Amino acid sequence: MKRQWLFLGGWAAMAVIPASVWAQGQAVAPEGPGQGRSFAQWDKIQISVTAKLAPNLYILQGSPNLDTNHPDAAGGRIAVLFGPDGILMVDSQDEELHEKVLKTIRTFSSAPIRILVNSHIHSDHTGGDPFFAMQGALIFSREELRDEMLHPHRRGNGTQAPAPDPAGVPVVTYPLGTPGAPAVTIHLDGEVVDFIPVPASHTGGDTVIRFQHANAIYIGDFYRNFGYPFADQANGGSIRGMITAIDMIAKTAGADTTLITGHGTLVKKADLLPYRAMVVDILEKTKKLADQGKSLDDKGSDGWTYRQRFFLSNAYSWCSNVRPEVARMLVTTDPHSLPIFRIDNVLSNMHEFDQAFGCKAGQHMVRTNACRVW
């Protein structure tokens, strides 16, 4: 119970802690091209067909246990619609895997790649865009995604991110419009494909993609059936928007509709309900505390302040079990110690940590020359 409460306390703190601190304390968006991308064994990763949702709608994923960011399957999921009219792809994987993606596609279709739509901006979903554009794909996305791509945020160390490859920038864009209503409808290979914009949730430029005849919807990353959700605030994401997105899917999907997640397992509409309840419960608890005039420095019944719980919940999230094969992979590929022995922050560099725990100059967790990279 104590562990659960610490998690909840950390989430409550998340709702009121500035986005800059949240980015320091939790997972950040996948790195872009050239940003020290040694988190995966790219040469060993294979791309496989992991599901066939219709005779001409296949799901592709990377190998498990070779990507420290996504141990379940390297990179993000890809949906491929194929037939005599050509190929439509949803997302394009990491940049290092584009040739392997194409090789796998060619095992079941020789049709030209005509359309690529991006569910959101993260590089594990858009990294292959330039390559597939050169194969002839016309790239579709939200207006917000294209703008984010053309005006990337600064890296964690404060340096400017490199300009995108012009070949990979979407050439057909669409606005948010009426939530739940298709912004674009594609008639291809006997299928009707709807690009449905989602109000800011995982990022500010999310799209879900509905395959009407296959009764499947690619919902991307605003839902996760492992860990906690990630609202990329730097790219316009919103925790409250995730609730809106779930409600929109609940209206759009039927009970038997297959929901294609960006990571984790394929799910049904009913699987979204516990996730939604968790997010709503946390936000309600946060509002109640705020209405009571509580601050981040007030102590709860366990003696910890809400500010401290933010860091403690992060520590607990890293103290998790991993399969032996994953542990062996991490030992050989990751310069850091195993997650159970660390938390993913350089806490001694963070003034916010000093404030939370009252660290003073001269103590072990306070550096004389702190590195300010955020």
Give Cβ neighbours of residue 293 (< 8 Å, ≥ 6 apart): none
Report, as an integer, the average pLDDT of 346-367: 76
What pLDDT was estimated at residue 199? Answer: 92
Half-sphere exposure of 327 (CA within 13 A, CB side): 10
Check whether 336 has a pLDDT greater than 80.
Answer: no
Report, as an integer, the average pLDDT of 102-126: 96
Give the Cα separation of 305 and 316 in Å (integer).
16
Q: What is the pTM of this model?
A: 0.76
Report, as an integer, the average pLDDT of 162-171: 91
What pLDDT was estimated at residue 343? Answer: 54
Check whether 70 has a pLDDT greater than 90.
Answer: no
Check whether 366 has a pLDDT greater than 90.
Answer: no
> For the ranges 33-42, 44-53, 246-255, which has the lowest average pLDDT?
33-42
> For the ranges 131-140, 184-193, 291-300, which has the lowest average pLDDT?
291-300
Check whether 25 has a pLDDT greater than 50.
Answer: no
Check whether 172 has a pLDDT greater than 80.
Answer: yes
Check whether 198 has a pLDDT greater than 60.
Answer: yes
From the list 178, 71, 161, the residue with the least C-alpha distance to 121 is 161
What pLDDT was estimated at residue 6? Answer: 43
Domains of the chain in start order, with CATH, are 2-17+296-357 (no CATH), 47-274 (3.60.15.10)
Check whether 116 has a pLDDT greater than 50.
Answer: yes
Report, as an integer, the average pLDDT of 258-284: 90
Which three-class secondary structure state does DSSP give residue 140?
A: strand
Give the Cα separation of 114 and 304 in Å (integer).
55
> Do the Cβ atoms of 188 and 86 come closer than 8 Å?
yes
pLDDT in tens, 236-269: 888 888 899 999 999 999 999 999 999 988 999 9
Check whether 332 has a pLDDT greater than 80.
Answer: no
What pLDDT was estimated at residue 204? Answer: 87
Which three-class secondary structure state does DSSP give residue 273?
A: helix
Report, as an integer, the average pLDDT of 134-144: 97
Q: Phi, psi (5° rounding) for residue 295?
A: -115, 170
Across the chain, what does the average pLDDT equal?
A: 82
What pLDDT was estimated at residue 104? Answer: 98
Report, as an integer, the average pLDDT of 95-102: 96
What pLDDT was estimated at residue 127? Answer: 94
> Do the Cβ atoms of 23 and 234 come closer than 8 Å?
yes
Check whether 331 has a pLDDT greater than 80.
Answer: no
DSSP code of residue 235: G
CB neighbour class for 9 (10 Å; exposed up to 12, middle 13-18, buried from 19): buried
Give Cβ neighbours of residue 313 (< 8 Å, ≥ 6 apart): 6, 7, 8, 9, 10, 11, 13
Specify the higher pLDDT residue, 79 or 222. 79
Specify the higher pLDDT residue, 317 or 262. 262
Q: Which tokens belong to 252?
A: 């759009």
Q: Which residue has the tokens 């939790």?
A: 26
> Do the Cβ atoms of 156 and 346 come closer than 8 Å?
no
> Do the Cβ atoms of 210 and 80 come closer than 8 Å?
no
CB neighbour class for 294 (10 Å; exposed up to 12, middle 13-18, buried from 19): middle
Report, as an integer, the average pLDDT of 306-332: 72
Report, as an integer, the average pLDDT of 318-342: 69
From the list 129, 140, 136, the residue with the least C-alpha distance to 94 is 129
What pLDDT was estimated at residue 300? Answer: 76
Residue 9 banded pLDDT, cuts 50, 70, 90: very low
DSSP code of residue 42: T
Give the Cα separation of 121 and 119 in Å (integer).
7
What pLDDT was estimated at residue 228? Answer: 66
Residue 371 banded pLDDT, cuts 50, 70, 90: low
Q: Which tokens belong to 198?
A: 């989602």
End-to-end C-alpha distance for the chain, whole angstroms: 33
What pLDDT was estimated at residue 327? Answer: 76
Beta bridge partners of 173: 141
